[in-house]
């Protein structure tokens, strides 16, 4: 028997890209390093050695069993090395994991994870064994490149990050180290992207004047208040661009830009490409902009769920936060048809099932499937099924009688 070799899956529309790549490596650190800002989440587990890691101005003892997780608002460097560190590091873009799945938490839990947790936890015996085994499995999958390794690396990295969040959240308030005024402002400036926090407002939370605060921020981390603010917005924009249902206008407004043009200018300055080019180049291929973005399948799912209701292209685009002309283009390019035609085909599909199973009359089924008139229903039914609803029901009844056991 001839085999079917041309199976298609989501990966046919979802090419490998920059943000899907997860960096995993075993590293030896035997010298001090310079303070740095980073776009990726950087996690590392200390296999052996002893050193002092400075994160946002606070020192942490790095030794066997130390588990670090640093986000883009963490500036870190190795301040001193007593014994060369052997670490297994895992780096990834947080947007990928935001897109994959997040458990719904009680109110303010995510904020506590960002603001109140330490970037390092010291693991106990069973925790240490679990995390050490997990990071070694991730490293092994990356090195061996067996079938499914890329998926395994993603799943296990997501598991690793979830474990850190759990441990860090459970350690809130334990052995807490206070941040300096300046480092608190630096963190809040990067994380507070929903509104335009001014330097004057930030200074009120400190004992410094706006000018002195800006100078201290520059001396502390190498960037000005405004540069940090824009960096935070762009980091969040990169994460939000993973969600295809969010329009550029929505992301721009959400992050507090004065206009879409201002959002584009700032994004180009930091990323050297426009937000749309970033999506096409780093998140999905050009072929995936429409099909793989998820819009089409989300539209289809939504229409199947709500086919009985009064649906319109304008309404569904509003539901998914995109422009109507974008929605129109998706239907044309993906389905090769317009919104109304796709909707009518879905309704006829359900009407066919209802005609077979319900004893309702044709008009009742027409209204049940969302058609605004009996004539519209009959016209569309005949177009897709090549017979009238009455003829279809009669043919189905005849077929059932023929198949009934004598």
pLDDT tens-digit readout, 111-139: 777 777 888 988 888 899 999 999 999 99
- Conformation bin of residue 151: beta by default, left when phi > 0, alpha when psi is -120 to 50: alpha
Q: Which residue has the higher pLDDT, 355 or 38?
A: 355
Q: What is the CATH number of domain 12-170?
A: 2.60.120.280
Radius of gyration of the chain (CA): 28
Two domains, one topology: 12-170 and 181-287: no
Phi then psi for residue 18, to 5 deg, are -55, -50
Please report the pLDDT score of residue 5 as a whole number: 55
Rounded CA-CA distance 55/65 in Å is 18
List the beta strands (DSSP E) in 265-383: none
Residue 313 has pLDDT above 60, yes or no: yes
Q: What is the CATH number of domain 294-406?
A: 1.10.10.60
pLDDT tens-digit readout, 338-390: 899 989 988 998 888 888 877 889 999 999 999 999 999 999 999 888 889 99
Q: Which residue has the higher pLDDT, 404 or 74?
A: 74
Residue 405 has pLDDT above 70, yes or no: no
Segment 35-54 mean pLDDT: 87
Segment 151-175 mean pLDDT: 85
* Domain spanning 181-287: CATH superfamily: Homeodomain-like (1.10.10.60)
Domain positions in the chain are: 12-170, 181-287, 294-406
Q: Which residue has the higher pLDDT, 282 or 226?
A: 226
Q: Which residue has the higher pLDDT, 102 or 280?
A: 280
């Amino acid at each position: 028997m001839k085999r079917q070799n041309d199976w298609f899956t989501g990966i046919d529309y979802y090419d490998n890209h920059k943000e899907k790549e997860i960096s995993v490596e075993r590293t030896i650190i035997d010298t001090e390093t310079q303070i740095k800002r980073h776009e990726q989440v950087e996690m590392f587990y200390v296999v052996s050695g002893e050193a002092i890691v400075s994160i946002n101005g606070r020192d942490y003892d790095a030794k066997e069993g130390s588990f670090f997780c640093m986000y883009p608002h963490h500036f870190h460097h190795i301040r001193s090395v007593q014994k060369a560190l052997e670490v297994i590091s895992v780096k990834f873009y947080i947007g990928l994991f935001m897109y994959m799945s997040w458990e719904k938490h009680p109110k303010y839990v995510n904020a506590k994870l960002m603001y109140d947790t330490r970037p390092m936890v010291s693991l106990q015996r069973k925790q240490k064994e679990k995390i050490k085994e997990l990071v070694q499995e991730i490293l092994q999958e990356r090195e061996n490149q067996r079938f499914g390794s890329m998926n395994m690396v993603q799943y296990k990295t997501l598991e690793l990050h979830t474990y850190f969040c759990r441990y860090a959240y459970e350690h809130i308030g334990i052995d807490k180290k206070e941040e300096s005024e300046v480092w608190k402002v630096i963190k809040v400036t990067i994380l507070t992207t929903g509104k335009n926090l001014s330097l004057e407002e930030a200074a009120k939370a400190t004992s410094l004047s706006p000018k002195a605060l800006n100078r201290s921020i520059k001396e502390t981390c190498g960037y000005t208040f405004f540069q940090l603010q824009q960096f935070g917005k762009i980091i969040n924009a990169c994460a939000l661009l993973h969600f295809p249902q969010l329009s550029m206008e929505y992301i721009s407004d959400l992050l507090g830009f004065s206009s879409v043009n201002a959002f584009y200018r700032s994004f180009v300055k930091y990323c050297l490409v426009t937000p749309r080019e970033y999506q096409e180049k780093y998140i999905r291929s050009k072929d995936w902009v429409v099909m793989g973005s998820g819009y089409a399948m989300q539209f289809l799912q939504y229409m199947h769920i709500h086919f009985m209701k009064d649906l319109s292209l304008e309404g569904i685009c509003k539901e998914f936060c995109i422009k109507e002309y974008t929605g129109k283009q998706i239907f044309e390019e993906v389905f090769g048809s317009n919104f109304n035609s796709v909707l009518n085909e879905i309704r006829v599909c359900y009407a066919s099932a209802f005609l077979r199973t319900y004893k309702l009359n044709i008009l009742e089924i027409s209204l049940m499937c969302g058609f605004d008139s009996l004539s519209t229903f009959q016209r569309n039914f005949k177009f897709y099924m090549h017979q009238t609803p009455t003829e279809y029901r009669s043919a189905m009844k005849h077929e059932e009688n023929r198949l009934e056991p004598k």
